[in-house]
A = this chain, B = another copy of it.
């Protein structure tokens, strides 16, 4: 994934990108499974467990990407004093979305 800050680009290394895609594929599969469960009128407790699992997997993925973002874009923005307040505000915006 490229991270654009003030025109600069940083790519996650190939390995991490492949792992990230594999991780999203798993979540995509969980949500596809969820859809099938609802279409098939499955027991609602099973559906709720699957929802909690998919939501948890998304949040863990969010934590991984946020760490990459802090180490990548945020670090670069601060070092180059390039839109650093804006970048920190965006991080807080995401943090607030996740804790709710």
Contact = CB atoms under 8 A, between A and B. Distances in A.
Report how many copies the assembly holds. 4
A11 to B, nearest CB: 7
Contacts of A65: 44, 47-48, 51
Contacts of A94: 45, 48-49, 52
A2 B3 CA distance: 33
- Which range contains the number of A residues in contact with the other chain? 35 or more
Give the interface centre of A17, A45, A63, A79 by most chain B CB atoms within 10 Å.
A45
Interface of A: 1-4, 11, 17, 20-21, 24-25, 27-28, 31-32, 34-35, 38-39, 41-45, 47-49, 51-56, 58-59, 61-63, 65-75, 78-79, 84-85, 88, 90-92, 94-100
